[in-house]
Copies of this chain bind each other. A is one copy, B any other.
């Protein structure tokens, strides 16, 4: 890469998140498989569909820029997903694993929130209207997913994980 302008930086970071989204689309099915709570499985499944849509939106932006869609290795997402797979490989009790899955997904979402927030602002400065619109839609969906995951954690997953430590069952509390 050679970065001489904001346009170059925009394109470079677009390639980063394009690769990140592809890594996420590949990782979510494993998380769905590992998850126990139906509402967590369902939220992850919904987000897999959204992720595929986010990839398509990025491809439309590449198209608008007259550039073939191409990712560059996103090391940030690689690291986040490696941490997740290391945690899962410890095979914690299923209640604790659900809590760990939510945390890992929230790291993924926050990486994306930072990325899309910045890209939308770059697109605004560069007056690429279609990109602003598409990036804004995706940013909104990533923020919503983060809130949904927080809701699932607070509605019982973290409590169930704690109860395992106490040797109690969730309904006792």
Q: How large is the interface on A (under 10, 10 to 19, 20 to 34, 35 or more residues)?
A: 35 or more
A1-16 contacts to B (CB < 8 Å): 1-9, 12-13, 16
Residues on B with C-beta less than 8 A from A113 are 110
Contact code string A123-147 (vs B, CB < 8 Å = 1, else 0): 0011000000000000000000000
Contact code string A43-64 (vs B, CB < 8 Å = 1, else 0): 0000000000000000000000
Q: Interface residues of A: mostly helix, strand, loop or mixed?
A: helix
- A36 → chain B closest CB, angstroms: 15
CA distance A102 to B109 in the complex (A): 19
Any chain B CB within 8 A of the CB of A38?
A: no
CA distance A12 to B83 in the complex (A): 11
Other than A9-B92, A99-B122, give 17 A-B pairs with Cβ distance below 8 A: A3-B92, A4-B96, A4-B164, A6-B158, A6-B165, A9-B100, A75-B82, A76-B83, A79-B80, A80-B111, A103-B118, A107-B114, A110-B111, A121-B154, A121-B158, A125-B158, A125-B161
A-B contact pairs, 20 of them (CB 8 A): A1-B90, A4-B93, A6-B99, A6-B158, A6-B161, A8-B92, A8-B96, A9-B100, A12-B87, A75-B78, A75-B86, A76-B83, A107-B114, A110-B110, A110-B111, A110-B113, A118-B153, A121-B153, A121-B154, A125-B159
Q: Which residues of A contact B (CB under 8 A)?
A: 1-9, 12-13, 16, 74-80, 82-83, 86-87, 90, 92-93, 96, 99-100, 102-103, 106-107, 109-111, 113-115, 117-118, 121-122, 125-126, 150, 153-154, 158-159, 161-162, 164-165
